[in-house]
Structure 1
Amino acid sequence: MPAPQTHYFEVDVQLSGFSKAYTDVKLPVWAPGSYLVREFAKNVEGFEARAGANKLTVEKINKNTWRVFHPKAKDFKVHYRVYAYELSVRTSFLDASHGYVNGTSVFMYPAENKDLASTLTVQPAPGWTQVSTSLLPAAGGVPLTFRSSSYDELADSPIEIGNQKVLQFTANGTPHTVAMYGAAQYDEGRLLADLQRVCEEAHRVVGQNPLDRYVFIVHNIERGTGGLEHLYSTTLSVSRNAYSTEAGYKGFLGLVAHEYFHLWNVKRIRPVALGPFDYDRENYTHMLWVSEGFTEYFSNLIVQRAGYNTPQGYLADLSNSITRVENTPGNKVQPVSESSFDAWIKYYRRTENSNNSEISYYDKGELVGAMLDLMIIHETKAQKSLDDVMRYLYTRYYQQLKRGFTDAEFQDAVAKVAGRRFDEFFRTRVYDVQTLDYQTTLGYAGLKLVTTPVTQDAALGAEFGTTGGKITVRTVARDGSAWQGGLNVNDEVLALDGGRISDDPNKLLTGRAPGSVVRMLVVREGRVQEITFPLLPSAAQRYRIESAGNATAEQQAVLNKWLPVRN
């Protein structure tokens, strides 16, 4: 990175012992953990190859593959530049303040030899003194030189380069490093103590520690964007002001718990499709609701179990999750299994109609996890839980069989732990769109779900935005008043009931009774037209989990097993 302000990494790859006449060199098209083809090769420039002083012939044979002809040389060198100026946990970034390498967007590999070991040397920009990564130092003690056993390990070990603050703590006997980039105000002692506590609580779920080191790379920026998991590390993108409020700090700990729990769920406990990876194309699975949804579910439990949330606070948060899912029209359209499978074309490519046709495998998967957990606890008389399912999957498939599990094998694992099968639940609630039976399931723990209308007023069922002084339709909710009445996304609204408007029409319609008729003057494709339609009742509901009262001993045992309070 000789000129970091230009955002270019300079990459040299030395390949040795390749005896064929040519070698295909590839760059992945996606980053594991982020299910979207991102076409990283679009950022590559100046690809060339040499054997000694001789320049070799290179032919690009498809979007992410370069064919290097070296008929008389077993050893050759490849050089290229990578433009890196997208600061996210899924991509790479370089500017005058720091560099961040997410391996799949920077490092190429020989197509037929992905399993070869490699050595990496990092040359920081002048004045930069820190390199933080989970890669182990290479033999020989050469500074800033690291080793990886395969391309998968190299690609799965992000690197932070600059002058980041490096902190240390130990959890479950394992050294943990925290590389903090960016200016942020936090209590260092409290931060490290809380990270240790969250990590140790996460370890209790599966009960086995696969780590000999772990690295948190934390980007403290204006607006955080989440995290991405790796085998021995994670990258967290955090709003730099998150530490200054209790809600923000709790959110940070929740993000830590989520990405940290991924070191078991996804990186080791995984569907068969998620490793070994095919870096050239989509890797399809119906089970991201387990990989991501269950991780979200357990991360919230971990925060509660660690004492950063009360059982009542957890139930309030779960109530909000139910409200969010059940008020999303797409929940009645797209099964959570299909949401998982279609993540590649839908989840990261949202449109104005996404809420009408899709449901998040994060959000719905969390609720499936909660209901399944309560069902297992109930069936086993509070002796087993979803924790035991994760333990079984870890032991059986990661440790013994050294592979991922199929959809059917996951259901078999649940049945083994619960002592009965839940085939009907999976068929109707996971692979179809039948509403989760919250009342029955929560009832196992002496709880009930109370539903109240968000409002008694009518609702327009559309959202608006203002650009250049024009009020335009951004979204239209399925089966709502605007949907039925023919209001379209991108319509510019000029007038409501004969009066010129300068504000969101929803504000102007507050208090209108269902059945009242509205007249909207809109501009569509340059033509002015009037749309008249009746307002329908608001379909939005608010969900709240409450005690059902007079809990039996069996119900109390289920609740205690589900939401224990640590001393």
Structure 2
Amino acid sequence: MKKNARHVYLLTLWTLFAAFTGYSTPRERTDEPTPPPAPTITYVVSMPEPQTHYFEVEMQVKNAASATNARKTNYIDIKMPVWTPGSYLIREYAKNVEAFTATANGSPVRSEKIRKNAWRVYSADNDLTIRYRVYANELTVRTSFIDADHGYITPASVFMYVDALKPLPHRVIIQPYKEWKKVATGLKVVDGQAYTYEAQDYDILVDSPIEIGNHNSFTFTASGIPHTVAMFGEVLYDEKRLAADYKRVCETAATVVGEHPCTDYTFIVHHIPQGGGGLEHLNSTVLETYRNAYATEASYKGFLTLVAHEYFHLWNVKRIRPVALGPFDYENENYTTMLWLAEGCTSFYEDYILRRAGFHTPEAYLGIVANDITQIENQPGTRVQTVSESSFDAWIKGYRPNENSANTTISYYSKGSVLGTILNLAILAGSNGERSMDDLMRLLYTEYYKKQKRGFTDAEFRQAAEQVAGRKLDDFFTIAVNSTNPIDYNAYFAPVGLQLVNVAGKSADGFLGAGTTVQNGKAVISSVRRGSAAYADGLNVGDEVISVDGVRVGDDLLRFIGGRRVGEKLTVLVNRAGLLREIPVTLTQNPLLSYRLEPLPNRTDAQKALYNKWLYVK
């Protein structure tokens, strides 16, 4: 390229001037401060003696001082969550932590515990290493566990954090026990580094459980997404059938919103002697079920119901969520009045998904709906606590039931499932079958998760529901959600040509209202129903029932009550705290209901068409 002579001359003069004066242009200056390197957080988890139920954790925090206030305060606080999202109870995970120590740049530094879940490390150095042990001997979906057979990590109960560093990437290096070869988790694998994983921030880490051991696993593809199932425990199952049915459930669940938000998904399944449940995560779930879960058709469908519930949380809760459910405060309760939507409507969808996938016949699904209504209407607490109050009080009541809970509370799971059913029917009827609950889920997903990137308020949810229904929903929100008044179920079922009928009938048999358990061959009262004879006449929880009308009871109280009539008087001898008491009791009418959904006579073509739309009848 040809150069201009005058330009070359002036450039030469400028170069000589700069050389003598030391002047340089701004972009050539070299005295600008170099930005400090970004902090990094790495956890190294080892388990050298799994039979002792301990995880050994090394938390490496690099370049921390520059990103926190440590330069000013000369300390940095390390915290442990007190609960895990999806399980609304303060669990005090720090109770299982011991041997907390800290080093800075390789040298020991002073640390002290400053509150139940926080440790203060006195150092302004950039590089800290925190070491501690976690006792893990409670195998649930909410807690961590390790023994000679496998290890399971609920991240909130194992991984500490620094407040200011939560938005940064967090890396996890698993060092499996020497005989273990497999790790299952939804965390992203770090290429080229064995057993090394990374989360884009602490919230993602907390949302990514980890299974370690020699579990069996299989894979399948659903909605174009690879799915892995890690199976812990000795259990017999048909892998081909199970994989196919997982696929059916997952693909049917994905049709609700119509978009799958994941690039991969992991099921961790624990097969245990007793208990069960699940906990949802962003791209994974943990399920607990019995070892014989696949042995009968009934138990098999029960397990698929659990799969459907936790999988649908991918959308409802993890992305479609009340505003309180993320970002999370890991040190305190996170209150919402809409767990009936987050959990209860997911319970509604678990059965609705199985109906749509063909696992339930329409008749079987109607039986499930009627049983759900029977359950909540037979609980005295449904006239005491609203479902929105139940949601808010999950932290103090939902996970801490006592002998009086049935009298004073209602489950946001069970009543929320019923509310999902009637809201779906309200939308179907209000839109003449053009829209359903699915459309409400899609609207919430698109507007708040994708567009506004946040949760929604109670008012915003109601507005969205009424928009989709095409009418005001005062009857639903005022009565069903925010009061304890009876729900007019038939107003919801009539548009699909059904009526809810109590088939229990009126019995002349008397009703005591006391539940018992057997303790050392004796009948001990374990619950007393509000409004019953036992409640009114003063039988108490903890009373050992010795005799009825002078006849010794043994361990079967109900045998002495059966056949007695309403209004009949009994004398019940009890041992109460070591003292004998004679309690006169007058039997009352049995208040228990048993509902069934039946076709209305002379159903119209419009009702039949809406019924078919509702239950996916072709």
Q: TM-score, normalised by structure 1?
A: 0.98
Tell me which residue corresponds to 1:57. 110
Tell me which residue corresponds to 2:30. none
Aligned partner letter, 1:409: E
Post-superposition CA distance 1:528-558 (Å, at most 9, x none): 1111021001000110111113221211122
SS of the residue 1:61 aligns to: strand
Which structure: larger Rg?
A: 2
Query: Does the CA-based 8 Å contact 1:57-1:69 persist in structure 2?
Result: yes
SS of the residue 1:2 aligns to: coil
Q: Distance in 1 between matches of 2:429 and 2:475?
A: 17
Aligned partner letter, 2:123: H
Aligned partner letter, 2:56: E
Query: Does the CA-based 8 Å contact 1:480-1:536 persist in structure 2?
Result: yes
Q: Does 2:297 align with 1:251?
A: no
Q: How many residues in Structure 1 have an aligned counterpart in Structure 2? A: 564
Q: Does 2:223 align with 1:177?
A: no
Q: 1:468 aligns with which of 498, 520, 525?
A: 520
Tell me which residue corresponds to 2:10. none
Query: Does the CA-based 8 Å contact 2:521-2:555 persist in structure 1?
Result: no
Tell me which residue corresponds to 1:122. 174
1:297-308 → structure 2 map (5 Å cutoff):
297-308=348-359
Q: Distance in 1 between matches of 2:216 and 2:91?
A: 30
Q: Distance in 1 between matches of 2:617 and 2:209?
A: 36
1:31-42 → structure 2 map (5 Å cutoff):
31-42=84-95
Tell me which residue corresponds to 2:58. 12
Q: Distance in 1 between matches of 2:325 and 2:294?
A: 34
Aligned partner letter, 2:292: N
Aligned partner letter, 1:469: G
1:10-409 → structure 2 map (5 Å cutoff):
10-19=56-65, 20=70, 21-71=74-124, 73-139=125-191, 141-409=192-460
Tell me which residue corresponds to 1:547. 599
Query: Does the CA-based 8 Å contact 2:293-2:300 persist in structure 1?
Result: yes
Q: Does 2:576 align with 1:524?
A: yes
Structure 2 unaligned residues grouped into runs of 5+: 1-46
Query: Does the CA-based 8 Å contact 2:499-2:599 persist in structure 1?
Result: yes
Q: Distance in 2 between matches of 1:213 and 1:439?
A: 43
Query: Does the CA-based 8 Å contact 2:99-2:133 persist in structure 1?
Result: yes
Query: Does the CA-based 8 Å contact 1:243-1:249 persist in structure 2?
Result: yes
After TM superposition, give the deviation of residue 317 of structure 1 in Å: 1.0
Q: Distance in 1 between matches of 2:108 and 2:248?
A: 55
SS of the residue 1:453 aligns to: coil
Q: Does 2:477 align with 1:426?
A: yes
Post-superposition CA distance 1:292-331 (Å, at most 9, x none): 0100001100001000010100001111111111100001
Q: Distance in 1 between matches of 2:417 and 2:302?
A: 16
Aligned partner letter, 1:518: L
Query: Does the CA-based 8 Å contact 2:522-2:555 persist in structure 1?
Result: no
Q: Distance in 1 between matches of 2:503 and 2:579?
A: 41
Post-superposition CA distance 1:506-534 (Å, at most 9, x none): 22111111000010011222211111021
Query: Does the CA-based 8 Å contact 1:411-1:423 persist in structure 2?
Result: no
Q: Distance in 2 between matches of 1:526 and 1:183?
A: 46
Post-superposition CA distance 1:407-431 (Å, at most 9, x none): 1111000011111111242112111
Query: Does the CA-based 8 Å contact 1:26-1:64 persist in structure 2?
Result: yes
Q: Does 2:53 align with 1:2?
A: no
Structure 1 unaligned residues grouped into runs of 5+: none
Q: Distance in 2 between matches of 1:92 and 1:363?
A: 27
Post-superposition CA distance 1:107-139 (Å, at most 9, x none): 001122211111110000011000000101125
Query: Does the CA-based 8 Å contact 2:112-2:121 persist in structure 1?
Result: yes
Q: Distance in 1 between matches of 2:478 and 2:109?
A: 57
Query: Does the CA-based 8 Å contact 2:137-2:146 persist in structure 1?
Result: yes
Query: Does the CA-based 8 Å contact 1:44-1:81 persist in structure 2?
Result: yes
Provide the identity percentage: 52
Q: Distance in 2 between matches of 1:565 and 1:147?
A: 46
Q: Which has the higher contact order (CA 8 A, sep 6+)?
A: 1
Q: Which moved more, 1:503-512 or 1:409-418?
A: 503-512
Q: Which moved more, 1:534-543 or 1:517-526?
A: 517-526
